[in-house]
A and B are shown apart, each in its own frame.
Chain A
Amino acid sequence: MKKRTKLGFTGLLVAGIAALGATATGVAVAAQSSDAKAKVGEKAPDFTLPALKGDEKHTLSDYTKDGKIVVLEWFAPDCPYVVKHYQNTEKSTVNNLVKEFKDKDVVFLAMNSAHSGHPYGSKDRNLERVEEWKINHPMLVDADGSVGKAYGARTTPHMYIIDTDGILRYAGGLDNDSSARGIGDVNYVRQALNEILAGETVTVSETRPYGCSVKYAK
């Protein structure tokens, strides 16, 4: 790295300091628009949604009753902030989390609440991405946006963790780097999952999610 780089970084911290809580120090801003329907510490809204692939349907409470912790990941195939977390399949933030927790009774569900007329809601495009990015966890289709709205999902990505009692334990960003290409040094989902699995309190249970708006139907 060039010697100047350090100052560049300092400049970034100083320049964006007010807004950069997410990058530099961890947590940032939360809902501007309305009471989030799903609240951390309360029962998460149950749902049944069809999968993008095949005919099967997925019901949240079936998983939690079966002793699974469920991670919901709001997804859009071409949102740059989703791309950031998938584009290098070797280093994929999400795929690696799925692998890391697959033997620990944790289920990941990708959620797409874009309406079918939006490019992000295109079945073909989503199937392409599943193939290209080697996404092995189910992707669910919420084309009318009802589940997204019930959770107050605002961005892609926007992450939620539901414990085996069906209680929402985390809502917010995937990590603490809302920059264009950087991957954060704190992954809130990993941190919260490890705390839940250890029977501990989730220390950072809510953060500002960053990314594209969920493309809800009008």
Chain B
Amino acid sequence: MPRIQQIVSACSLVLWLVATGFGASQPAPAMDGNSLVRVSAIAEYQAIRAGESVSIAVRFQIEDGWHTYWKNPGDTGAEMRIVYDGPEWASLGEIHWPAPKRYVSPGDLLDFVHEGTVILLTDLTVDAEAWEAAGKPETLAFDLNCEWFVCKEICLLGEGSVSLELPVTTETAYKNRDALQAFSEARRAIPRPWEDVPEQMYRAKFESGVLTLSVPSATRMTYFPAPSKELALPVDALTEAEAKGDTLRIRYRDEASTVDFLEGVLVFERGQPGAGNHSTHAIEVRVPLRDDASDPPRE
């Protein structure tokens, strides 16, 4: 697949460019859809320690009125992608996504989308042994080749490449002060990992093909099923995966009987919008489909 190596340029991304461990890109001029999304990236630390990981924030700024797609795009679309292109002694981990929004089109098509600015987090890891075998290079220079499918009335493909450079060290690495805001913003938007969700926060039950999720005193709940290659997914997420109140009942396809877990993101509100006590929460849910477990095993 041809990838366009691009020169880092300034413009509106200047804040993300300064100092250490930074990088941004401009879309390639000839590709449809490229100019509708601007991509930039920044590392959380000023350097990367051999054998360890550094978080990378990849920011997508989407043109007003357009949307891109979550890891499970829903009925249509295709998810945003980030491809690492760099030395073999480093690699990217999984992407941590913020909760998406529901987007309904004529024909009862339900998509899970991102609008405005969305920051994806991913971990960059240097394999110490491979790094040593490569002669302990002092710098890790790599590109993140990003790809998106962006839609409004019509749909376009776009891509953009971000170049980053980080010193590799065996000493202490310090935080990149210019990245603090981006990481704090990104982490606020990312659902709390299921391992860290307190047991009393929600209840989950899967019985006779129906997933029941309840959150004490929730005023509104929305569930986003994670991708499932086994097709273990809701039958009718359009009408069943979002409701006022403290309970969702979501029928699943028969394929749910073939998997060990149902996974997704649950967004719930407490209080009423506009009122002083209103709050919104996003958590990952992971529901084991065993007869003897009505609640997921959590800390």
Contacts and interface: CB of A to CB of B under 8 A. Distances in A.
Interface in A147-181: 148-149, 154-155, 178-181
A79 B150 CA distance: 11
A18 B238 contact: no
A141 B226 CA distance: 35
B154 A15 contact: no
Contact of B238 (A14, A17, A33, A119): A33
Given A12-B83, A213-B105, A18 B154 contact: no
A8 B153 contact: no
Interface in A1-57: 3-12, 14-22, 25-35
Interface residues of A, number: 59
Given A119-B154, A149-B107, A18 B227 contact: yes
Contacts of B159: 180
Given A18-B226, A180-B157, A218-B106, A212 B76 contact: yes
A6 B106 CA distance: 41
A72 to B, nearest CB: 16
B106 A217 contact: yes
Nearest to A218: B106
A80 B253 contact: no
Interface in A37-85: 78-81
Nearest to A6: B88
B147 A180 contact: yes
A32 B88 contact: no
A210 interface: yes
B261 to A, nearest CB: 13
Contacts of A213: 75-77, 105, 107, 109, 111, 151, 155
12 contacts: A4-B88, A10-B84, A11-B84, A26-B229, A28-B231, A32-B74, A33-B109, A35-B235, A35-B236, A154-B107, A155-B75, A155-B76
Given A19-B227, A30-B253, A180-B157, 6 more contacts: A15-B122, A18-B95, A28-B228, A80-B155, A80-B157, A120-B154
Interface of B: 1, 3, 32-33, 71-79, 81-88, 90-95, 104-112, 122, 145, 147, 149, 151, 153-157, 159, 225-231, 233-239, 241, 253, 255
